[in-house]
Amino acid sequence: TREAIDPVRFLSNHSSGRMGFAVAAAAAEAGAAVTLISGPVSLATPPGVQRIDVESAADMYAAVMQAVTSTDIFISVAAVADYRPAVPAPQKIKKESAEISLDLIRNPDILAAVAALPDAPFTAGFAAETESIVSNAQDKRLAKGVDMIAANRVGAGLGFNSEENALHVFWEKGEQVLPVTGKVKLARQLLNLIAEQFQRSHHQEKVIKFNAKDSA
């Protein structure tokens, strides 16, 4: 796969922990120029990766939309909050009443927004599911209009904050199960699939045309 994705500019977003960093590391290892947009985590930046730190979902949206224009592949690993408080409290909320309620409003869907761009890169998302993994992941791929979805079961000891993970990866014309293993190894296997499907996709034609124009 090194050859397969050698010329590719690659963007990964990540918020919570290990999986996104492993994907960014695997892409850099494979020879891609990688920008990692990360929420607040205490993880070391993988060698050869350019990192942009953000705090909120809105910050991540802005950073991704700015960086994505020069990107061939976008991988969205971050567990971005779907909602945010409508009115953030400027100070600590005092416990005066027995119950309080919080009004929440939807955050923009970063992955769907990237996939909807007129000149969208190849897009790969993750789907964190607790049930009906296959149907939920396939629905998510279609609803967000993305090229590939890597579904993982999350729950007690699975997915989040663990050293290992397992993926069921779907694209338009195929699927593959990547059985449970360390996140670094799994990220390399996922990158192989992404490189294969990227090469088969119409996005690759754009890169070839672009390169042809470049060298003319």
So which residues are the catalytic ones?
A: 13
Burial status of residue 31 (CB atoms within 10 A of its CB: 0-12, 13-18, 19 or more): middle
What's the CA gap between 206 and 164, in Å, rounded?
35
**3-state DSSP call for residue 78?**
coil
Residue 189 backbone phi and psi in degrees, to 5: -65, -40
Minimum CB separation from ligand PMT for residue 41, in Å?
8
Our CB check for ligand PMT shows the closer of 30 and 79 to be 79
Our CB check for ligand PMT shows the closer of 7 and 176 to be 176
What's the CA gap between 31 and 59, in Å, rounded?
28
**3-state DSSP call for residue 20?**
helix
CB neighbour list of residue 119: distance below 8 Å, 6 or more residues apart: 206
Our CB check for ligand PMT shows the closer of 55 and 82 to be 82
Q: Smallest Cα–Cα separation from 129: which of 141, 114, 146?
A: 141
What's the CA gap between 1 and 191, in Å, rounded?
8
Our CB check for ligand PMT shows the closer of 46 and 159 to be 159
Alpha helices in 145-201 (DSSP H): 183-200
Minimum CB separation from ligand PMT for residue 72, in Å?
18
Minimum CB separation from ligand PMT for residue 16, in Å?
4
Alpha helices in 68-126 (DSSP H): 110-115
> Which residues contribute to the site for ligand PMT (CB under 6 A)?
16-20, 57, 76-80, 82, 107, 109-111, 125-128, 140, 152, 154, 159-161, 165
Minimum CB separation from ligand PMT for residue 144, in Å?
6
Minimum CB separation from ligand PMT for residue 211, in Å?
28
Place of tokens 């997915």: 159
Our CB check for ligand PMT shows the closer of 32 and 159 to be 159
